Amino acid sequence: MSGSLLYHNPRCSKSREALRLLQARGIEPRIVPYLEQPPDTGALRDLLRRLGIAPRALLRTGEAEYAELGLADPALDDDAIIAAMAAHPRLIERPILVRGDRAVIGRPPERVLDLLD
């Protein structure tokens, strides 16, 4: 699958499993180590469009930054949520497989296979 991109955290078991599932099918996606190379706000907006979800749906609510930044506040708008994820990439759910104009969050990891059709 040419043009596949995986937002990946090698320390995350779900992310490693998603990569293994792809590799078992002969797919070597381009890896984006998003903790070291965080997407900017424009890239996050594009990713959200491909995922077809609202910014809050991409947040990892169990991370310390979620509470520290008060991200549970329903008054925060999408711009504030996106800016927080750009500044604190640990807040971004993972893994995310992107193929063409579509993307999927690999939770559970088998969801990445949805883009293989």
Q: Which residues are catalytic?
A: 12
Q: Which of 79, 86, 110 is nearest to 97 (CA)?
A: 110
3-state secondary structure 39-94: CCHHHHHHHHHHHCCCHHHHECCCCHHHHHCCCCCCCCCHHHHHHHHHHCHHHECC
